[in-house]
């Protein structure tokens, strides 16, 4: 005889869900720094491990008003935990609005290479039909779309000069108006936030090591990420996100870019050093030919870095090895 009793009457309330720590993670992904590859991985991982992947369809609004910050933080904070929120947005200070500060993660890359990838992506897109260049930049004039990269740099077009070249640091500095101004203030604030609020900031050129550390630090989210990353089926999907029709500027133009992006390089080298310290701590060796000189002296040209120039000639089965080859 069961009678009218219920599960709650007989056994009390159901046990509370045991959440991993941390249960709130934000990936405020920097544009053209491999984030689409990582988001592809996160979609697979969220189904595999049962965490809540919260994504945003807003890709072109990184700077927010105070009210917009409050609204976004409120929406993120009320998401079902454990969650991983991802969006192209400059660092948000949750504690400023009374929220619990989540753990941040991010990935950056060589600033000149990031700029070049973005320059040609805006004009010619990638291999995905649903996000080709005509859809992404429908109002771009033909003369602008086919503007030679050297002309843009050497003749100081707005797209190829500051403040537009000051791009990576604001993602770590935050929403303060001074974070948009190239200078020491924004640089130091970005470094401080990396130290205090980011669990890991990786380097795209060493993406496999980034994934290994993420798996070590955040196993509930990233367990088995490297095996998925190396799976041929995932590589075929990822191949569609490679920018097309890229060319390399002249050495003179590249050196001008380095001068204009001095603070970006100071930040990039700081993050790279911190990342390598972390790798050594956990037994991962960095395969580096020699220490890279600082930007005020000489920087190797993008021709020596990892991303291929002629994307059309890539082999479908080897695209990730070619992009991130050491």
Query: How many angstroms separate the CA atoms of 142 and 57, rounded?
Result: 27
Total of domains in the chain: 1
Radius of gyration of the chain (CA): 22
Q: Is the model's pLDDT at 47 over the cut of 70?
A: yes
Q: What is the pLDDT of residues 86-116, one digit of tens each?
A: 999 999 999 999 999 999 999 999 999 999 9
- Residue at 312 is within a domain: no
Q: What is the mean pLDDT of residues 308-319?
A: 34
- Residue at 310 is within a domain: no
88 included as an active-site residue: yes
SS3 244: coil
- In which band, very low, low, confident or very high, does the pLDDT at 71 lie, cut at 50, 70 and 90? very high
- Residue at 323 is within a domain: no
- In which band, very low, low, confident or very high, does the pLDDT at 123 lie, cut at 50, 70 and 90? confident
Query: How many angstroms separate the CA atoms of 312 and 326, rounded?
Result: 21
- Residue at 142 is within a domain: yes
The first and second tokens of residue 169, run together, are: 């640091």
- Higher per-residue pLDDT: 297 or 9: 9
- Residue at 308 is within a domain: no
Look at residue 287 in the predicted model and tell me its pLDDT.
58
CATH of the domain at 120: 3.40.50.300
Look at residue 181 in the predicted model and tell me its pLDDT.
96
Chain length of the chain? 326
Among the listed residues 49, 59, 88, 133, the single catalytic one is 88
Q: What is the mean pLDDT of residues 269-293?
A: 80
Q: What is the mean pLDDT of residues 78-86?
A: 97
- Residue at 324 is within a domain: no
- Residue at 322 is within a domain: no
- Higher per-residue pLDDT: 324 or 147: 147
Residues 293, 295, 301: CA angle, nearest 5 degrees? 80
Q: Is the model's pLDDT at 283 over the cut of 50?
A: yes
* Residue 81 vs residues 21, 24, 84: alpha-carbon distances, Å: 10, 7, 8
Q: Is the model's pLDDT at 319 over the cut of 70?
A: no
- Determine the structural domain holding residue 30 and report its residue range: 22-282
- Residue at 100 is within a domain: yes
């Amino acid at each position: 005889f069961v009678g009218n009793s219920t599960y709650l009457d007989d056994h009390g309330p159901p046990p509370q869900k045991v959440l991993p720590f941390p249960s709130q993670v934000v990936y405020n992904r920097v544009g053209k720094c491999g984030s689409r590859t990582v988001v592809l991985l996160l979609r697979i991982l969220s189904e595999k491990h049962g965490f809540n992947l919260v994504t945003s369809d807003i890709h072109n609004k990184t700077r927010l008003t105070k009210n917009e910050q409050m609204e976004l933080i409120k929406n993120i904070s009320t998401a079902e935990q454990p969650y991983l929120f991802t969006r192209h947005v400059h660092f948000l200070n949750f504690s400023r609005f009374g929220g619990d500060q989540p753990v941040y993660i991010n990935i950056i890359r060589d600033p000149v290479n990031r700029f070049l990838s973005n320059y040609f992506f805006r004009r010619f897109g990638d291999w995905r039909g649903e996000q080709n260049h005509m859809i992404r930049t429908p109002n771009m004039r033909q003369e602008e779309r086919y503007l030679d990269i050297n002309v843009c740099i050497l003749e100081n077009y707005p797209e190829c000069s500051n403040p537009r070249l000051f791009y990576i640091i604001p993602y770590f500095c935050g929403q303060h108006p001074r974070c948009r101004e190239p200078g020491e203030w924004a640089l130091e604030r970005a470094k401080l936030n990396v130290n205090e609020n980011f669990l890991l900031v990786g380097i795209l050129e060493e993406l496999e090591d980034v994934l290994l550390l993420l798996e070590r630090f955040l196993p509930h989210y990233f367990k088995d990420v490297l095996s998925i990353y190396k799976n041929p089926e995932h590589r075929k999907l990822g191949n569609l996100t490679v920018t097309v029709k890229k060319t390399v500027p002249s050495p003179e133009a590249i050196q001008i870019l380095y001068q204009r992006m001095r603070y970006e390089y100071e930040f990039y080298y700081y993050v790279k050093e911190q990342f390598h310290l972390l790798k050594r701590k956990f037994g991962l060796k960095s395969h580096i030919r020699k220490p890279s000189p600082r930007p005020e002296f000489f920087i190797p040209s993008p021709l020596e870095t990892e991303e291929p120039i002629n994307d059309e000639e890539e082999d479908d089965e080897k695209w990730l090895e070619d992009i991130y080859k050491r």
